[in-house]
Amino acid sequence: MAATPALLELVSVGRRLAGRAVLRDVSFSLRRDDVLGLLGVNGAGKSTTLAIIAGVLQPDAGSVLIDGKNATDDVRTMRDRIGWVPESVPLWPELTVIEALDACGRLRGLSKPARKTALERELARLELTDLAQRLCGQLSLGQKRRVGLAQALLHEPDLLVLDEPGNGLDPVQAAQLRELIGKLKPGRGIILSSHDLAEVEAMCNRVVILHDSRVRLDAPLETRRGKLDAQFRSIAAQPASAAA
């Protein structure tokens, strides 16, 4: 019997930006119920990797497979299967939370009854009911992150892509985020980027370390607990290659 394909698979993905190689031969995979932490210093290529997975950027080389099917050229697959929350949550400051989420539902092609159900579900799940009529431009960073997550979850995606989800959150909000990711994990795959080891250790069961545009470590976290800090420091200390 053929093995079930991974939910997400990156095969030799490469990308150049402004004449510089940002990603080179990046390959890793993610299965359902996995929470994969993408670690790396600033400029390692984490956000670019996530933007390629989300379909916002096109890879120069390689491919992104969702359930074994090439997603890079298939907008519909990307839209239906992936929910993406970039580092700075893109909201429309003039719209209320409920209007912004409704607009996102329309963009994803949800019917009116489906939008209503999805809005009620996500407002409750992310504790946004009290903020529903508040303008997005008036929200705090933590609240914006929750609205960002709500828009990414409206269509119940199989794969959740979170770029630096804990960045700028206070300890209480960070703990709430960890709890939320634990709740969201069953039945879907989650990939999140971070440069915070503690955050990755608390939320993820697998880790990929990117350095100098390449994958330097891809391993289950349970085998690395306690050793990850030293390993990350050792990888991050390696000089970047001069190759462009």
List residues binding other proteins (CB under 8 A).
15, 17-18, 48, 51, 54-58, 75-76, 78-80, 82, 84, 86, 88, 90-92, 94-95, 99, 103-104, 106-109, 151
Mapped onto helix, strand or coil, the DSSP state of residue 227 is: coil
Q: How far is the CB of 149 from other proteins (least distance, A)?
A: 13
Bridging pattern class, strands 189-194 and 35-39: parallel
Distance CA 203, CA 182 (A): 7
Judged by CB, which is closer to other proteins: 78, or 204?
78
30 strand-pairing partners: 8
Select from 56, 52, 66 the least CA-distant residue to 8: 66
Select from 146, 208, 132 the least CA-distant residue to 181: 146
Judged by CB, which is closer to other proteins: 16, or 125?
16
Distance CA 30, CA 206 (A): 9
Judged by CB, which is closer to other proteins: 53, or 228?
53
Distance CA 161, CA 159 (A): 6
Residue written as token pair 């349970």: 222
Judged by CB, which is closer to other proteins: 4, or 58?
58
Q: How far is the CB of 87 from other proteins (least distance, A)?
A: 8
Q: How far is the CB of 182 from other proteins (least distance, A)?
A: 24
Judged by CB, which is closer to other proteins: 15, or 211?
15
Q: How far is the CB of 88 from other proteins (least distance, A)?
A: 6
Distance CA 73, CA 171 (A): 40
Judged by CB, which is closer to other proteins: 3, or 18?
18
Distance CA 214, CA 166 (A): 23
Q: How far is the CB of 218 from other proteins (least distance, A)?
A: 24
Residue 156: CB atoms within 10 A of its CB come to 12
Q: CA separation (Å) from 50 to 26, 96, 149?
A: 12, 27, 15
Q: How far is the CB of 90 from other proteins (least distance, A)?
A: 4
Judged by CB, which is closer to other proteins: 88, or 238?
88
Q: How far is the CB of 235 from other proteins (least distance, A)?
A: 25
